[in-house]
Each structure stands twice: as C-alpha cells, then as structure tokens.
Amino acid sequence: MEIRILEETCTGCELCIPSCPFGALTMEDRLPGAPPPPPDSVTAKVARVWESCVDCDLCLPVCPPVAILHDRPEGTAAVPSTPGSGILVAGDLGPTGLRPSTRRVLRRARELANTLGCFLTCLLTPRVDPGTACKDAIACGADRVLLVDATDTNPEDGLGLPALLAPILAKEQPEIVLFPDSIRAAALAPRLAERLGAGLASPCHEVDLDLSTRQLLQRVPLFKGLGLGELVCAATRPQMAVLRTHQLPDPMPDGSRDGEIVQWNLRAEI
C-alpha cells in the first residue's frame, strides 16, 4: 500500500470515501499529536487508508486539497502488484480439462492483464482430480491457478457455489472478474455479483480498458442485437463480465510458461 494522507492538508470533506470501490478509505478522529486541521476544514476528522487499498489511484483526482499522495517512483505504473489483485477468470472444467470457452477467455484476459501490468488468476472448482487443467490454464496465460474443492457443493443447487466463492473473491479483491458464457456462468455470475455488491455485464460481446481510470469497458448488445452499448462499473469492484466466446480467437498455449498452483482451504478461510 503506497497511498498516504497528508493530515495537515486533509479538510475532512469525505469526497474520497465513495470514490474507493474497495472500501479502503474511512474518516477517523485525528490522533493526539497529529497535525491540526487546516483553517478551511469541513470537519475535524481526517481520512485513513486501510490494508484493503490496492493502489488503483481512483481517489487521487477527487481530492480538492490534494491531500492524497501515491508514493511511487517516477515512471512506475499505477497497478496492483500482488497476486490477490488484478484479473480473475472463473474457469469451466469439462470431462478432459479446461473447456475451450475458458481457454479463449484466458487469452483475452492475458491481453488485458498485460495492458494493466497485473496478475491473472484462473479460479477452478473441481469436484474430481483436475488433471492437466492447471498446467493448461497456465499455458493459456494464467500466472496463478486457484483450486477450490467443490465436492461438498450440490451441482443442482445454484446457491451453494456462490455462497462458498463469494468470501474468496472478497479476500482476493480482483479488479476484474471474467466468465466464459456457459450454463454454469449464467447461474454463478449474477449470484456472485449480488453477494459482492458488484456490477455485472452479461453477455458481453467484447471488453476493453480505459487506462486513465482502470475501468473495464463492457460492450453489450442493444435492441435485440442490432447495436452495441458500452457499460462501465465506476463505483464498485470487482468489475464483472460474462464474455461471449464464439467470436474470441483460440489461445496459443505456451507450455514453457511458469505459474503457481494454490489449493484454497475453504473451511479454514470461511
């Protein structure tokens, strides 16, 4: 976390609070011995930055007195730098491993991650041994594969898996979550978005990035598919989208890529 507050400059105006999609900013009483509030202060309180901050910089332009600074070496990109941020793909598994639709979404997600300079995680929820799916996900662009044992969830119950995965995503704090278009995603994505209080675009024909705000530009069909509109989730994170995959190109797997495979102990975390 590199964001800091200049207490001698902060006026307590609270404009920064709603700008943070991760809830990492709060207003607190000034500590004893802290600099006094400036003469034009709205309140005597001061902004505080918490550990959930991912250094996205969305709070910087909304601060009128310029009391928020990002201590970053000159020329360094404003990107989250930990595996628990960046982009997450909620992958689908078939009888023989990753489904082709997940492989296509991973390719597009890798392009977005390269643009943002962030990690790409592939979340898999196998009920049996995933076999080569983890290595396949890494070859298709993932930096990390997050394995969550879903054997205790009922595949016929549309509520079980979202209830188990929501705390994981809340802890991981990805900026962007992408799903391949599938029957599973149609049930999972909106329930996860509701639990996380996040925005969801489904289905998306294409996604792109606004680098000035790190917002995901989500292009969705309008007027029964006769046109496309563009959606953004300006106030919440993660930004979630279900991608139509039939028009996405197939990946070009690179078997030489290295990645991390993480087994998530669901019972220990929840």
**pLDDT tens per residue across span 81-118:** 344 479 999 999 888 889 999 999 999 999 999 998 89
Give the DSSP H/E element, type plus range, for residue 116. helix 100-116
pLDDT of residue 150: 74
20 shares its domain with 134: no
**pLDDT tens per residue across span 42-55:** 888 999 998 777 77
Last-in-domain residue among 19, 54, 77 = 77
pLDDT of residue 159: 62
- Gap between the Cα atoms of 176 and 58, Å rounded: 15
Residue 205 lies in a domain: yes
128 shares its domain with 185: yes
202 shares its domain with 221: yes
State the first-to-last Cα distance of the chain, in angstroms, to the nearest integer.
25
In percent, how much of the chain has pLDDT > 70? 88
Q: Which two tokens stand for residue 237?
A: 């994170």
**pLDDT tens per residue across span 128-150:** 777 789 999 999 999 999 998 77
Tell if the pTM clears 0.95, that is, is over it.
Answer: no
pLDDT of residue 264: 77
pLDDT of residue 126: 81
**Domain CATH number, residue 226:** 3.40.50.620
70 shares its domain with 111: no
Residue 158: how many CA atoms within 13 Å on its side-chain side?
Answer: 10
Number of domains in the chain: 2
pLDDT above 70: residue 267: no
Q: Which two tokens stand for residue 166?
A: 């929501």
Residue 82 lies in a domain: no
133 shares its domain with 5: no
Which domain covers residue 121, as residue numbers? Answer: 87-269
The average pLDDT across 160-189 equals 86
Strand partners, 180: 243
Residue 32 lies in a domain: yes
**Domain CATH number, residue 9:** 3.30.70.20
Q: Which two tokens stand for residue 48?
A: 């505080």
Question: At 76, is the pLDDT very low, low, confident or very high (cuts 50, 70, 90)?
Answer: very low
Higher per-residue confidence, 168 vs 1: 168
The average pLDDT across 152-159 equals 59
Q: Which two tokens stand for residue 227?
A: 């046109």
Taking Cα atoms as reference points, which of 223, 62, 239, 212 lies closest to residue 231?
239
Question: At 80, is the pLDDT very low, low, confident or very high (cuts 50, 70, 90)?
Answer: very low
pLDDT of residue 90: 93
